[in-house]
Amino acid sequence: MAQKMTILLTGCAGYIGAETARQLLDTGHTVVGVDNLNDYYDVRLKKMRLESLLGKKGFHFLQGDIEDKAFVDQAFSSFPVDKVINLAARAGVPYSMKFPEIYMTTNLMGSLNILQAMNKFGVKKFVLASTSSLYAGQSMPFNEDLPVNTPISPYAASKKAAEVLSYTYHFLYGIDVTIVRYFTVYGPYGRPDMSIFRFIKWIDEGTPITLYGDGSQSRDFTYVEDIARGTILGLKDVGYQIINLGGGNNPIALDTVIHKMEQLLGKKASIENHDFHKTDLRATWANIAKAKALLNWAPEITFDQGLARTVDWYIKNKSEISKIVI
């Protein structure tokens, strides 16, 4: 991707979005960042990420919602967009159980507005963030050819719907589509509703950890810098491809994660166990052979390295993070 381009990046104040924007800007591309700064979680964290981008050469921020078709069209008409990375989404399984309509309007209808604008303005490359939650009930390691037609949460269903819609626009209008299915992303500035962020904060503060299940459930954790790098590599022309971005190694159990955090923080965790949630996955594990073959991508940061970096970030920014509401 030597040619310098203008990338429309939605969800730029999210932690994957902000890291993706940083990497694009550092390599000389122009980024038109879109975010509505909603209050799904503490907006102060989103503003911290956004402040790290404002003032960087080539970064333009537009505050608005991809559910607003007129706003989306205005974004495309205001800049010479070459390619699109759509990271704007409602994320998280539990919240989707309470507010399923929000997930459909953002994750599906928002994607529709973007695809419509791309067709209108002649933009031919679309990268869509999707999720490993689609693989519920499948045998591991998960590969992209597995049937994922029975999602078990509104979140997963909304992501599946966006994947299918993207194929329709590829077939009808020749839009080149890369769908990247993320596996348990973690790292600095992470979402406070995810286990890595909240467990570190709770252990440090002496607050009991709320753990659903016995801690044996495991995840294929993937560091945010690796995820952003893979997302950017997805900007190449592939036709229509679904590609896993995950650690690709044996998944790590949550009780092991907690033990590693205790060692890094020098503090003991207090744990309150609750019943395992029926929409949760017992384990995730990505087959990343396709990512290696098509994108020449594999994760570079081990879990131990990434967790140490995340704890170090937390310690250095504790005064601000302590104010974040979980």
CA distances from 21 to 49, 56, 75 (A): 10, 10, 17
Distance set, CA 200 to CA 18, 188, 253 (Å) = 21, 11, 16
The radius of gyration computed from the CA coordinates of the chain, to the nearest angstrom, equals: 19
Q: Both tokens of residue 105?
A: 């309007």
DSSP 24-74: HHHTT-EEEEEE---SSS-HHHHHHHHHTTTTSTTEEEEE--TT-HHHHHH
Which amino acid is it at 88?
A: A
142 three-class SS: strand
Residue owning tokens 């960042």? 33
* Rounded-to-integer distance, Cα 287 and Cα 182, Å: 12
Q: Which amino acid is at 155?
A: Y
- Active-site residue set: 155
Is residue 102 a contact partner of residue 65, using CB atoms and an 8 Å limit? no
